[in-house]
Amino acid sequence: MDTLVNAPAEAVEWRVSDGLVGYAEAVAEMERRVAAIRDGSAAELVWLLEHPPLYTAGTSADPAELLEPDRLPVFKSGRGGRYTYHGPGQRVAYVMLDLNRTGRDVRCHVHRLEEWVIRTLARFNLAGERRAGRVGIWVAGGDGREDKIAAIGVRVRRWVAYHGLALNVDPDLAHFSGIVPCGIATDPSGYGVTSLAALGITASMAEVDTALKATFAEVFTGSACPA
């Protein structure tokens, strides 16, 4: 069952889905909502959910990076980026915003999504960081290793942005071995994938949602973008 929650930012609705939402179902719902936002018949929306285990292929996906094509269902996605994994224990946030209101700047929108994750992780005393040439948010280890904790991919239709981000709370990290996540090879390159749970941070999905809601308004109504 879905619940609607008062938004912390002006005129933006929040939806939290219980259970697992199929990927095709979610994309169809996003497409409908984006059209409604564009014609003014619906408010902007942040939709928080979890998917069943699956891989998605973004518009830049290289088939060679699907290492185990029979492991999980694979869905072509209109978002930017390459292959990524979605599954239980991962908080997906689909962010449907009218860039005519926030600024017709896709780079700025991605920057704000990154900042949103960084500020959310800070609520759990974890330093999330950007890396040049690598989309998403990373956590630096003491041994020089860097692990990705959140993936970001967006699509824009007539200046309404959708898709969004996926934050690893406590997913099955073994499923990432079936792909080259977002085009970034894991061992022995020194890059990997991690989660809050793998880092010893015990956080429920509800606690993560609370942090996401608490930091959303300060980023999307007041955070500046790089020049």
Residues paired with 90 in a beta bridge: 168
- Which residues have C-beta within 8 Å of that of residue 64, sequence separation ≥ 6? none
Residues paired with 2 in a beta bridge: 17
Is 182 in the active site?
Answer: yes
Residues paired with 163 in a beta bridge: 154
Q: Which of 26, 61, 182, 208 is catalytic?
A: 182
Query: Measured between alpha carbons, how far is 168 from 183 in angstroms, rounded to an integer?
Result: 17
User: Is beta strand 83-86 parallel, antiparallel or unpaired with respect to 54-57?
Assistant: antiparallel
Question: Measuring CA to CA, how many Å separate 209 from each of 5, 29, 53, 81, 187?
Answer: 11, 21, 20, 25, 31
- Which residues have C-beta within 8 Å of that of residue 178, sequence separation ≥ 6? 55, 66, 67, 68, 71, 72, 85
Look at residue 78 and give its three-state secondary structure: coil
Contact between 104 and 159 (Cβ < 8 Å): yes
Residue 111, token pair as written in the block: 């920057």
Q: What angle do CA 91, 74, 173 make, to 5 degrees?
A: 45
Residues involved in catalysis: 182
